[in-house]
Every structure is written in structure tokens, then in C-alpha cells.
Structure 1
Amino acid sequence: MASTTKKPAPGQTTGASTGPTFDPVDFAAELDVVASNRAVGTDVWFENEHVQIWDLSLQPGERVPFHTHDHTYFWTVTDAGRVMQRYDDGTSRVVDVEVGHTNFLTYQGDECTVHDLENVGDTFFRCVTVVLKDL
């Protein structure tokens, strides 16, 4: 199983707060295969040898299963919302994000992040995630 070696830095996402703890055993089936899960969104919009562009669209209560980030990427919010990221160590964070909010995360060597994403707000949430395969 892949395990998180790098989390977003505190304050990287403006307004992020510590979320509830949880038991990773409750997500054992997802975490057992997370090392091979690079599905960082709900649909791939475009892919070539350099980039992979994902749509991540969630209605209230919907979530993207645990997955692994190990390539440099960025995401930009197109529909504001409140989301929760659970990490494989049983911690989580809740973030209110506005349209245009963008985060850029870099990975080197064996660094990776393992998390899910759930829409815990009461409105539709969407962001676009771009994975940079060459970096």
C-alpha cells in the first residue's frame, strides 16, 4: 500500500481547517489498492504523454475514493464548495474553496499523497486537475 509522505503545507489552502479523525480500517478496500489508483478526478478530459487533465465534479455527499498523487499537479476550482480530504493516517481537513482558487503541488522521488475527497457542502463542487507527467 502506498502511504502519504507529503501533505499540503499548513495554510497552503486558505481557510483549511482540521477535520474529524476517522478509522482508516473503514476504507480498507480502497486503501488496499491505492498504490495503483491514480484516478484523481471523476473523468479524464484530455491526456497525452505530457499531461492528464481531469474533471472532478461532486454533488453534495459524493466523494472520490482514496487515490495516490505522485506527479506534480495543480487544481483550479470552477464551482465553489466545501470539501473534506481524508488522509491514509486517519486525519482529515475541511476546506471552503472559491472559484479560481488554485493549488500547485510538486513531488520528487518517492514522495506521494494518499487521500480521498468528499463534497461535504450543500452545493455542487467542481475543479479541474492537471497532472504534469514530465515534471
Structure 2
Amino acid sequence: MAGIGNEKVFENDKVVVWNFALAPGEESPMHTHTRQYMWYAIEGAPLRLFDESGTDIGVFEVPTGAVYSLKVDDGYIEVLSDISKGTRFPATHSARNEGNKPYREVLVEYK
């Protein structure tokens, strides 16, 4: 499995910080989240999610400037923040940028 971002930019005993970007139409490698995390959408886009078997599980709209807090539990991710609160999706997934502009985020994993 691939890492959860394009580039690890910082790590200490408490967090790992990743840059993540997808060009329009680009899809991330399949990856698995194992830690609680949050992300900030620098440039938002609609992201189409696919589960481990490649099944389309829908589009997750990510607006520019949105901040998400997420919990990983029993193979699923649950959104805890007000925006999209309660949304669940598999911890192992890939994402494709369905928009016509680049998608960019900074993701912080909590150790």
C-alpha cells in the first residue's frame, strides 16, 4: 500500500504531516488510514472514492478552506467535524479528483 499523501513533510513523536495533491482526473494509489487524522483543503474539489476492490463508493465534495477531523475505527473512517459530520467510508480506499482544477490538502496524522 502507498502512503496517505504525496510527500511526508514533517514527523515527530506526536504527528505526521503530509502534502497531498491530485491533478484533475488523477487518482491516488490505494492506501489505508490507521491513525486518527485531520486535513485542511488548500484547493478543494469533488473526490470520487473507491473501496479496496475498486468499487465506486461515491463522490465526497471537499470545498476550498474546509477542515476535516476524522476517526479511524474497525476498518472505517468517520467524519467528526461539522462539515460532513457522520459520513463514513472504508479506511482502505483511493480517491480521484473529479474536478477541473488541482486538488491540494495538508493532512495531519496523530500518533
Scaled by the length of structure 1, the TM-score of the pair is 0.64
Q: Hey, which of these two has a bigger chunk of helix by percent?
A: 1
Instruction: Output the CA distance in 1 between the equivalents of 2:60 and 2:72.
Output: 22
Partner of 2:4: 40
Instruction: Output the CA distance in 2 between the equivalents of 1:124 and 1:111.
Output: 28
Superposition RMSD in Å: 1.7
Partner of 1:54: 18
Partner of 1:122: 100
Q: Hey, which of these two has a bigger chunk of strand by percent?
A: 2
Shift of 1:95: 2.3
Partner of 2:67: 102
Aligned residues: 96
Partner of 2:80: none
Partner of 2:88: none
Q: Which of these two proteins has the greater Rg computed from alpha carbons?
A: 1
Say if 2:43 and 2:103, in contact at 8 Å, map to a contact too: yes
Shift of 1:91: 3.6
Identity of aligned residues (%): 29
Instruction: Output the CA distance in 1 between the equivalents of 2:49 and 2:18.
Output: 17
Structure 1 runs not aligned, ≥5 long: 1-33
Letter in 1 for 2:105: C
Shift of 1:103: 1.8
Say if 2:48 and 2:56, in contact at 8 Å, map to a contact too: no
Instruction: Output the CA distance in 2 between the equivalents of 1:111 and 1:94.
Output: 19
**SS of alignment partner, residue 63 of structure 1:** coil
